[in-house]
Amino acid sequence: MAPKAEKKRNRTFVIIGLGTVGSTVATDLARSGNHVLGIDINEKSVAALSDVLSEAIIADGRDEEALREAGVDKYDVALIAIGEDLEANILCTMNVKMLGVKTVWVKAINKTHHRILTKLEPDRVILPEQEIGQHIAQKLHNPAVRDYLSLGNGMHVINLEVPESMAGKTIESLDLEKSHELRCLGILRGSEFIGCDTGTVTMEASDKILILGRRQNLRDFSDGI
């Protein structure tokens, strides 16, 4: 008899800096059933999440020993979301890296800060305001685009609602790969997911197509429908 497969262990998360971004991420992760430790130097910020997160403690991210005592080195993923204090953000990132956390994401405040943090080699540096702005701009540019996701390396996925003009046509008729250098990942029809590998799927109005490609190619295609 084959041995039972071990249940995959959920990753553990530490969020340092419980402002708007940090508290939102921490709360959503906790609601999804993850073990989340929240850390902030501000007592009110910690108290506000003490009943939501697995743990919430007051500590200074600039203090490596304080982070060690909090057990940060035992966590799989860290997000440093410290806000306006650039020095604290950078020092905390260095401390978390030195403690050996496997995956480290850091919130940057501006492009200069982004460049500095990149030198510390975290797994990802995020500019929340810029990313949200791009997301909104894409949706405003073409109302048919229901959602938009950047995958990095210049690749994006859009969730495009099928207009009446495309209803009854097949995915193959869009000629996505040859004419637009795009790829259909699938179709959402209500709660049903339909693969489009064969290209013979007939689209219905209000279907949502997931399309992968480069930003300009996606824009050119969506503008033309």
**pLDDT tens, residue by residue, 86-128:** 899 999 999 999 999 999 999 998 888 889 999 999 999 988 7
User: What is the C-alpha to C-alpha distance for residues 23 and 180, in angstroms, rounded to an integer?
Assistant: 40
Please count the other Cβ atoms lying within 10 Å of the Cβ belonging to residue 9: 7
| Amino acid 139: pLDDT | 59
Q: What are the pLDDT digits (tens) for 149-207?
A: 777 677 888 888 888 888 888 888 888 888 889 988 888 888 888 888 766 788 888 88
| Amino acid 205: pLDDT | 86
| Amino acid 6: pLDDT | 47
- Contact (CB, 8 A) for 175 and 213: no
User: What is the C-alpha to C-alpha distance for residues 185 and 213, in angstroms, rounded to an integer?
Assistant: 10
| Amino acid 2: pLDDT | 44
Three-state secondary-structure class, residue 56: strand
| Tokens, residue 184 | 């259909």
- Report the percentage of the chain scoring pLDDT > 90: 42
| Tokens, residue 126 | 């995020």
Which pLDDT band holds residue 142 (cuts at 50, 70, 90)?
low
Q: What are the pLDDT digits (tens) for 43-55?
A: 999 999 999 999 9
The closest of 64, 56, 59 to 23, measured between CA atoms, is 56
Instruction: Please give the span between the terminal C-alpha atoms of the chain, in angstroms, as a whole number.
Output: 55
| Tokens, residue 90 | 């950078």
